[in-house]
Amino acid sequence: MAKVKSLSDGICLIDGKLSTVNMVRGNKVYGEALVEDGNVEYRQWNPYRSKLAAAILNGLKTIEIKPKNHVLYLGAATGTTPSHVSDIVGESGEVYCVEISERNMRELLKLCERRSNMVPILADAQKCAYISDVGINDVIYQDISSKNQAQILLNNTSALKSGGYAYFIIKSQSIDVSKDPKEVFEEELSMIKEKYEIVEKIDIEPYDSAHLFVVLKKK
């Protein structure tokens, strides 16, 4: 029998490895291991493939992605981390997956066909043409390689409820490779301080370098 330790609703350690309860039993998303325990199937969550998993393993305290939540996910790529968010929010939740790459979207569409709570949106997160369609969400999760990362978050803020949380991954090398990453992080955070309170900052090394995982709360 597997040793299960709950970390948050829908997130646990199975025999010491981070996992989520699989919403689509028997289905893998990116080759991850599936573990059975009684009548429950878990998907192992690889921190080298997911910055959210890396942050949790590095001590993230503020886990506001919960069952029944609506999450606006900016930069969904092929759906690795969104699939685990899908597990957490469950069938009563919703994950709006915004992705600009048509190539990534082809893979994402296949995943969304198997997961009823994932909605694929082929769009530019900077332009926010989808805002009226996604409504007001509990959480925004942003993982985008762009020079104007803070501005993208601000552009999408109207889709987050008052007091809602934003998970903001700052990728310093996408903004300015010539600057010290710490300087880039501070510049980006200074841009959002009027709209957001900084709750937590997590260094996600050794899983990713020159990234900062930030938890924000909308004022």
pLDDT score of 199 more than 90: yes
Distance CA 215, CA 60 (A): 9
Question: Tokens standing for 103?
Answer: 């190539």
Q: Are the C-beta atoms of 182 and 100 separated by less than 8 Å?
A: no
Residue 176, C-beta contacts closer than 8 angstroms, at least 6 positions apart:
147, 184
pLDDT score of 184 more than 90: yes
Is the same domain home to 124 and 191?
yes
Backbone region of residue 183 per phi and psi (left: phi > 0; alpha: psi in -120 to 50; beta: other values)? alpha
Is the same domain home to 210 and 104?
yes
What residues make up the domain containing 15? 4-44
Q: Are the C-beta atoms of 29 and 83 separated by less than 8 Å?
A: yes
DSSP 59: T
pLDDT score of 193 more than 80: yes
Question: Is the peptide bond prior to 181 cis by the omega test (within 30 degrees of 0)?
Answer: no
Is the same domain home to 104 and 185?
yes
Is the same domain home to 133 and 29?
no
pLDDT score of 133 more than 90: yes
Is the same domain home to 212 and 188?
yes
Question: Predicted confidence band at 17 (pLDDT cuts at 50, 70, 90)?
Answer: very high
Mean pLDDT of 161-170: 98
Quickly tell me which residue has 């299960």 as its tokens.
4
pLDDT score of 57 more than 90: yes
Average pLDDT value for the chain? 96
The domain tally of the chain equals 2
pLDDT score of 1 more than 80: no
Look at residue 119 in the predicted model and tell me its pLDDT: 98
Q: Are the C-beta atoms of 211 and 204 separated by less than 8 Å?
A: yes
